[in-house]
Amino acid sequence: MSLEALLVVAAAIFGVGIYGALSQQSFVMIMMGLELMLNATILAVAAFWWGSTGGNPEGQLLVIVVMTAMAIEAAIGFALVANVYRARKADITEKLKRLRN
């Protein structure tokens, strides 16, 4: 286990997340891609914390901030999906031709 190996694993998860966020049609699957990218971010930040500061607790706060961003993304995403479905009966991106109304 080394910093390089951790960063390569994080890069692999991030690449899968990019693929999912760009390719999927369903809104919730796009959110899964975003969550995978944040997952990779958490892993990379924790790897840098482990490989550099040697147990200094301030470094872990950045991971907590990323986790908060993840929870916020999920909550707002679910709210928007519910709202779009109610207004347009759309569950995939192809059904939305315009954002207004």
Identify residues 38-97 at the interface with other proteins (CB under 8 A): 39, 42-43, 46-47, 49-58, 60-61, 63-65, 67-68, 70-72, 74-76, 78-83, 85-87, 91-94
At 67, the amino acid letter reads M
- Residue 18 touches other proteins, criterion: CB under 8 A: yes
**In this structure, are residues 48 and 63 in contact, taking their beta carbons and an 8 Å threshold?**
no
Q: Kindly determine how many residues on this chain lie close enough to bind other proteins according to the rule CB under 8 A.
A: 73
- Angstrom distance (rounded) from CA 97 to CA 61: 41
- Minimum Å gap between C-beta 12 and other proteins is 5
Q: Which is nearer to other proteins, 67 or 97 (CB)?
A: 67
Q: Which is nearer to other proteins, 80 or 97 (CB)?
A: 80
Bridge partners of 92?
A: 26
Ramachandran bin of 49, using left for φ above 0, alpha for ψ from -120 to 50, beta for the remaining angles: alpha
